[in-house]
Amino acid sequence: ATDEVTRQIVLRFDGDRLVDLSIEDALGNRSLVTLTAVTRDQPSPERFQFTPPKGADVIYAIGERR
């Protein structure tokens, strides 16, 4: 027996734009999420703030500010 819920997540890009993601569970079922009408505007700092929970792993892109 396994406690694994998600076996694999695949992100697919067109250039630097995320177009869809596929999620496969432990039973082999797959869900495909297709992203359409995506805007790349940055939220204003007054409207959006996020602080990762204590102990969360944060992975930064190369050259991304921390």
pLDDT digits (tens, 9 = 90+) for 2-59: 567 889 999 999 998 899 999 999 899 999 999 998 888 877 888 888 888 999 988 8
Q: What is the pTM of this model?
A: 0.54
Cβ-count burial of 54 within 10 angstroms (0-12 exposed, 13-18 middle, 19+ buried)? exposed
- The answer to whether the CB of 17 falls within 8 A of the CB of 36 is no
The pLDDT confidence band at residue 65, using thresholds 50, 70 and 90, is: low
Task: List, as one string, the DSSP characters of the chain.
Answer: -----EEEEEEEEETTEEEEEEEEETTS-EEEEE--S---PPPPTTT----PPTT----PPTT---
Domains in the chain: boundaries? 1-38
